[in-house]
Amino acid sequence: MGHPEIYPLVLTTKTQEIFNCRIDEDLTDEQPYKLIKKQDILTDFYNRAAVSDFHPVKKVIQNYPGDEILIVYDKDFKYGLNFYVIGTEEGKENYLNPPETPEEQEEHKEFKEHASEDTYLYKPPVSKPWVSLGSEIEIEEESVKGSTKQITYMISRKRREFGAPIKFSDQNASSVKDACIECIAYPDRNFVIKQLERDVGMQVVPQVKDTSTQTKWTYPKNATTQYYPREFLEEEKEILGQSKPLADFLNNMSISVEIALQQNEITNTFIDDWKCLAEEEGTFGDKTDTHLKEYQSFTDLHNLTEKMITCVSWHPDIYGLIVVSVAMRLSFEERVHFSGKLLLQPSLILFWSFSDPIHPQLMLESPEDIFCFKFCPSDPNIIAGGCINGQIVLWDITRHVDRIEHIKTGSSRSKKATLKPMFLLEPDINKEAMYIRHCAVSSIENGHKKVITDIHWLPNTFEINRMGSVFENRSGICCQLVTCSADCTVCFWDIRQQKTATPQPTEKKKEESIEIPSDIPPTFLHLDLSWKPLSKLKLSRGDTSLDHCSTRISLNEDYVLFRTQERVLSQNKVINAEGMNPYHNLESGLANILKPIEDFSTKFFVGTEEGEVLYADWKMERDSETGRLMTKKPVSLNSVHDGVVHTVQRSPFYKDIILTIGGWNVAIWKEGVMTGPLLQSSCAPKRFTSGHWSLTRPGVFYIGREDGCVDIWDLLEKTHEPAQSQNICITMITCIRPWNFSAKQQFIAIADYYGTLHILEIPWTLSHPSSNEVSSISYYFEREVKHLEYVEQRKKIREQEKKEMEQETEKKKVRKYQKGKEQLDAELKMDYESYLDLEKTVLINLGMIRVSDTRSFMEVV
User: What pLDDT does 805 receive?
Assistant: 92
pTM for this entry:
0.61
Confidence of residue 303 (pLDDT cuts 50, 70, 90): low
User: What pLDDT does 500 receive?
Assistant: 55
Neighbouring CB atoms inside 10 A of 749's CB total: 24
Report d(CA 613, CA 604) in Å as an integer: 10
Do 75 and 32 meet the contact criterion of CB atoms below 8 Å apart?
yes
User: What pLDDT does 100 receive?
Assistant: 59
| Most confident of the following: 103-117, 413-427, 660-674 | 660-674
| Most confident of the following: 296-300, 416-420, 586-590, 721-725 | 721-725
User: What pLDDT does 542 receive?
Assistant: 65
**pLDDT over 70 for what percent of the chain?**
82
The yes-or-no verdict on residue 565 having pLDDT over 60 is: no
Angle at 845 between CA 842 and CA 847, to 5 degrees: 115
Q: Residue 297 in 3-state DSSP?
A: strand
| Most confident of the following: 214-228, 255-269, 720-734 | 720-734
Q: For residue 776, which phi and psi values (nearest 5 degrees)?
A: -65, -45
Q: What is the pLDDT of residues 763-810, one digit of tens each?
A: 998 988 888 899 999 999 999 999 999 998 999 999 999 999 999 988
User: What pLDDT does 494 receive?
Assistant: 92
- The residue that leads in pLDDT, 560 or 180, is 180
Report d(CA 655, CA 561) in Å as an integer: 11
User: What pLDDT does 555 receive?
Assistant: 87
The yes-or-no verdict on residue 505 having pLDDT over 60 is: no
Q: What is the pLDDT of residues 523-562, one digit of tens each?
A: 888 888 889 999 998 888 766 657 888 999 998 766 545 4
The yes-or-no verdict on residue 151 having pLDDT over 70 is: yes
One-letter amino acid for residue 92 of the chain:
K
Confidence of residue 51 (pLDDT cuts 50, 70, 90): confident
Which of 39-48, 484-493, 683-692 bottoms out in mean pLDDT, i.e. has the lowest? 39-48
Confidence of residue 24 (pLDDT cuts 50, 70, 90): confident
User: What pLDDT does 680 receive?
Assistant: 92
- The residue that leads in pLDDT, 603 or 52, is 603
One-letter amino acid for residue 379 of the chain:
D
Report d(CA 379, CA 396) in Å as an integer: 10
One-letter amino acid for residue 31 of the chain:
Q
One-letter amino acid for residue 761 of the chain:
E
Q: Residue 418 in 3-state DSSP?
A: coil
Do 23 and 37 meet the contact criterion of CB atoms below 8 Å apart?
no
User: What pLDDT does 50 receive?
Assistant: 76
Average pLDDT over residues 732-740: 93
User: What pLDDT does 467 receive?
Assistant: 87
Virtual CA dihedral for 565, 568, 570, 573, nearest 10 degrees?
-130
- The residue that leads in pLDDT, 115 or 64, is 64
User: What pLDDT does 112 receive?
Assistant: 58
Average pLDDT over residues 675-697: 92
The yes-or-no verdict on residue 214 having pLDDT over 90 is: no
Which residues have a Cβ under 8 Å from the Cβ of 765 and sit 6 or more positions away? Answer: 287, 288, 289, 290
User: What pLDDT does 786 receive?
Assistant: 92
User: What pLDDT does 324 receive?
Assistant: 94
Report d(CA 678, CA 680) in Å as an integer: 7
Which residues have a Cβ under 8 Å from the Cβ of 61 and sit 6 or more positions away? Answer: 38, 41, 42, 45, 54, 69, 85
Confidence of residue 149 (pLDDT cuts 50, 70, 90): confident
Q: Residue 692 in 3-state DSSP?
A: strand
Per-residue three-class SS string for 545-594: CCECCEEEEECCCHHHHCCCHHHHHHHHHHHHHHCCCHHHCHHHHHHCCC
Report d(CA 357, CA 424) in Å as an integer: 13
The yes-or-no verdict on residue 756 having pLDDT over 80 is: yes
| Most confident of the following: 30-34, 171-175, 402-406, 713-717 | 713-717
The yes-or-no verdict on residue 95 having pLDDT over 50 is: yes
Do 429 and 583 meet the contact criterion of CB atoms below 8 Å apart?
no
One-letter amino acid for residue 319 of the chain:
Y
The yes-or-no verdict on residue 635 having pLDDT over 80 is: yes
The yes-or-no verdict on residue 670 having pLDDT over 50 is: yes
C-alpha distances in angstroms, 502 versus 498, 499, 505, 841?
12, 9, 9, 109
Confidence of residue 650 (pLDDT cuts 50, 70, 90): very high
User: What pLDDT does 344 receive?
Assistant: 76
As a whole number, the mean pLDDT across the chain is: 81
The yes-or-no verdict on residue 571 having pLDDT over 90 is: no
In angstroms and rounded to an integer, the radius of gyration of the C-alpha atoms of the chain is 44
The yes-or-no verdict on residue 317 having pLDDT over 90 is: no
User: What pLDDT does 514 receive?
Assistant: 46
Average pLDDT over residues 839-861: 63
User: What pLDDT does 776 receive?
Assistant: 92
User: What pLDDT does 72 receive?
Assistant: 86
User: What pLDDT does 853 receive?
Assistant: 59
User: What pLDDT does 410 receive?
Assistant: 41
Report d(CA 469, CA 617) in Å as an integer: 11
User: What pLDDT does 856 receive?
Assistant: 57
Q: What is the pLDDT of residues 361-412, one digit of tens each?
A: 889 999 999 999 999 998 899 999 999 999 999 999 988 888 877 654 443 4
Angle at 487 between CA 368 and CA 602, to 5 degrees: 110
Q: What is the pLDDT of residues 473-484, one digit of tens each?
A: 888 889 999 999
